[in-house]
Structure 1
Amino acid sequence: MQFEELSKVKQEAIINAGLQVFGKSDYRHASTDDIARLAGVSKGSLFYYFHNKKELYGYLLEYAQQTIMKELRDDAIFQEPDFFVMMERSLKKKAELMKRNSYIFAFLLKAYPEVSEDAKDVVYEKYECLIDSTMTGILKHIDVNRFKDGVDVDKVWKLLYYFAEGYMRPFYTMEEPFDIDALADDFIGYMNMIKQYFYKEEYL
């Protein structure tokens, strides 16, 4: 791919510009002119590396997902048998990443769900891959015996996943900065409430 032959600095400039612009607008209204301007490249160059807007969008989705998963590939997270301890550790890892690059999460929150007919096919294809791969890694070492009888652990994970998306979404519409660590602590409080409902008493 032509893009990957660019210097690391130039690649990061285009990626960050794309995440920023798509993170502020939906696919249809995001401007490739703005992406090119923020990245410091011509629009012609941008479309030389990515043949069209949709190809760039798909690349950024893949990049954002892989960046988050790379951050979470930590034995202290994925080999933790307690589901809620694992979720808390992964949340704190994500908070660290958000402080370094908030555009990634703003972009993903804007992308899911994407209603534009031009882009929703690539969004949902990659979204399902993200859900499946994340759940497989997260639940591999979980001690399911800590859950009350009859609890579907997959559904508990999805509940928290979608809850986290909905919880964060309003903050990305705010112009002023917000305290990521405080939000993480607040969300952990909600997870502890959910834990009371799904875990056996001896594991609380």
Structure 2
Amino acid sequence: MMVAKKGIHYFLLACYILAFSLILISCDDKKNSVVLDSNKFNNMYENIKNNFKPEGYVEITGDWKISTMVPTLVGESEKQHDVFQENNKTLVYKNEKEGIIVQMGLTPSNTEAFEWKNAIRYAPNFYNSQKKDYGISDHYSDVYPNTEVNTYIFTGKGLNLSIVSISDKIKVPNGTDLSGDFLNSFLEFLSKQP
């Protein structure tokens, strides 16, 4: 009888350990996965593509399905990577008068509230300045491009957004940058979406 009770205890202990392990694995999967509404994302993407018409800009991707391939991240499952690749969308806007190209990368997010994630700017006359009084002159060289690049990364309205503007300051030295009209009109457009 004593042996049978020990066997039951070991069996119950093994069941307990198995159940606890399954719960931990389940929690870990939920922590690393993101439940996204692909239909909502695709509708928002199409809405932006078809209805966001910033003054002076033309969206050029047309029927092209453009996305950027990326390697799998450390710890990222193949399923997560495939979902990202499927939902990674690109729009490209050109402003011939200002000489500006704007690329917009969109992926789905569970976040409705707007939140800045990152913003950087490369201004050639500051980061590759010929004169110390105007910017960083260390390692100045005319081999570097005279290209201004602005990058804004934020979330909101169920989207992760990366927006990059590129302009050639030699060809259009007085062109505006992305932080002006384009970005403001896009944020206003997004804020009006349901």
Which TM bucket (shorter chain)?
Answer: under 0.3
Between Structure 1 and Structure 2, the one with more strand by share is: 2
TM-score norm. by structure 1 comes to 0.26
Structure number with bigger Rg? 2
Higher normalized helix content (fraction of residues) = 1
